[in-house]
Amino acid sequence: MAGRINYPLGVRGYQVAAVQKLCEGVDAVYGSAVQGDFIEFGTGWGTTAGVLAQAMAACDLSWPADWAERHGVKQGRELYLLDSSDGLPTAEHEADANMPHVQSGYRNRGVGKALDPHQLMGQCAQHLPSERICQCSYS
């Protein structure tokens, strides 16, 4: 078992327990030798992406250097960040349009548009090498 990981705590807008659970999930993926990379759909302010990057970096340091090789998993997992960079779309389906938060105007087209790709990369690259961070756009 790896040593205790210093997880990021008190992240903007998130309860400490939620951040801790996300980090523990990343650690469980590493510890269980699950194949594959990490992906986030919709990055908003980049808070979750930053926590994922920090947790991945912590796991890279805390698990033995030969862990991935011994268990046949990819070394240097990548973090895929997918976002339209346009915020939320227009609520076109009747069920969506009738939701109270849409009716009130709280959730309109463009809401959630936050960090541009350069800012998001900078936030995540504080923890992971930029070559392990893959930004993709979708519409």
Average pLDDT, the chain: 84
Write the DSSP assignment of 39-63 as a string of letters. Answer: EEE--TTSHHHHHHHHHHHHHHHHS
Percent of the chain with pLDDT over 90: 46
User: Exposure of 80 by Cβ count < 10 A (0-12 exposed, 13-18 middle, 19+ buried)?
Assistant: middle
> Rounded to the nearest 5°, which phi and psi values hold at 101?
-70, -20
Domains of the chain: 16-137 (3.40.50.150)
pLDDT in tens, 95-136: 888 888 778 877 776 666 678 889 999 999 999 999 999 998
Mean pLDDT score, 55-66: 92
